[in-house]
Structure 1
């Protein structure tokens, strides 16, 4: 197990985002000093990852021990493939620019947010995928190849940058405080249709659990390694959303045949996928296990806390 020192100075790209806010809290609780990087006024360093020159000017004169890439261009759940365009670009050019900025600040470690969909969208059967399974296979359609290429490139840049200890965390689908909230108005108005098919399951991870994994990777992650981060209970998209509705006392969502959701191309692809992952490596090397072993338990905790 690799142990990095405590009390690090950390630059967190995406600190004002939903996941970023949880990461900042987890790192601060662990004794690290966090500086946010992003376009909003809430960040200690204001810059756009897509603007290389402005980013390098913004970090000039600063020193950080670790840089974390948790930036996203998503402001709401993506429904169509084109909704992922800005995030795909951020995974490609934005990551390259942030790696360059990490070098400029003298950082030693670079931790990147990745996703389990980098194993490929679609049907993966019942065997949990491990980090030894192929990551970044060719997408079966041009839009899916754009999405997977972004994840493939982001990890390649993370691992292949000289003088940086690159670590990637392959997260399941996020839910929890700040994330699930966006679904509640849609459910209240019954504007979130769900597929009738219950045969497909996906990995999920509660946002505070995901943030704890980032803190663990900062301190104990092994350079050049990827880690799957998900809870212990894969669950279909329909089952998860029905749990959300039940937990918060909202109307049961309407269901439609999966084929009817094809106009929502990205959502259709996600809901049609079947994917399980093993997180044994994260438990073994990072000492990380989810506090919420299922999304049902995580949602109940969210309701109790009033968040």
Structure 2
């Protein structure tokens, strides 16, 4: 097991996002000093990942032990393919720029946020995907290839970065504090019709659990390795939202045929997909276990804190 020292100086790209806030808290609680990288005034290092020269100027003279890439351009759940394009670019060009910046700061380790959808969009049936399964297969359409290329390239750049110990965390779908909140107004206004799951399931991970996984990867991740990070209970998209409605006392979503979601092609693709992943490697090598083994547990805890 690789163990890095405590009290590291860490540069976090994406610190202002929902996941970034949870990562910052987990790293700080583990004894590390976190500096946020972003375009906002609150960032400790102000720069745009897509502007290579400005990024390198911003980190000039700074030193960090580890750089974490959790930057996203998403501010709400994507429904159309074009909603993902800016994030796709952050995964390719943005990662390449951030790796240059990491080297310039003398960092030894580079930890990337990745996603389980990098295994491909579609129905994997009862197969349980592990890190040994192919990652980043070619997409079946131009749009899906653009998304898969982003995830594929981000991991390749992470693992092949000379002089850096690259680690990737393949997360399930996020929910929890700061994430689930976006669904509540839509459910209250009955603006979130959803198709039945018909046996389809997806991996989920509660956001505080995701933050803890990043802290574990910073300290114990093996260089060149990817880790699935999800809870132990895959659940269909509609089933997840029904749990949200039940815990927060808001109306259940109306049921619609799956074909009716085609005007939202990215959402349609996600809702048509079904996959199960194993996080045994993360539990074994990182010493990480989900505090919430299922969405039901995590959502119940979140609702209880709000009462």
Q: What is the TM-score normalised by the length of structure 2?
A: 0.99
CA contact (8 A) 1:197 1:257 kept: no
Partners in 1 of 2:228 and 2:239 — Cα distance?
A: 22
Superposed CA offset, 1:60-90 (max 9, x none):
0000000000000000000011100100111
Moved over 4 A (4+): none
1:40 shift after superposition: 1.1
1:42 shift after superposition: 1.8
Partners in 2 of 1:44 and 1:100 — Cα distance?
A: 18
CA contact (8 A) 1:198 1:238 kept: no
1:51 shift after superposition: 0.6
Mapped pair 1:300 → 2:300: yes
Correspondence list, 1:1-307, <5 A = 1-306=1-306
1:127 shift after superposition: 1.7
The total of aligned residue pairs comes to 307
CA contact (8 A) 1:52 1:97 kept: yes
1:304 shift after superposition: 1.3
1:197 shift after superposition: 3.4
Q: 1:135 to 1:234 in 2, by over 3 A?
A: same
CA contact (8 A) 2:221 2:286 kept: yes
1:305 shift after superposition: 1.5
Structure 1: unaligned runs, 5 residues or longer = none
CA contact (8 A) 2:169 2:229 kept: yes
Partners in 2 of 1:99 and 1:5 — Cα distance?
A: 21
Superposed CA offset, 1:195-245 (max 9, x none):
123311000000000000000000000000000000000000000001101
Partners in 2 of 1:29 and 1:179 — Cα distance?
A: 21
SS in 1 for 2:15: coil
CA contact (8 A) 1:192 1:253 kept: yes
CA contact (8 A) 1:197 1:258 kept: no
Q: What is the TM-score normalised by the length of structure 1?
A: 0.99
CA contact (8 A) 1:229 1:279 kept: yes
1:175 shift after superposition: 0.2
CA contact (8 A) 1:121 1:270 kept: yes
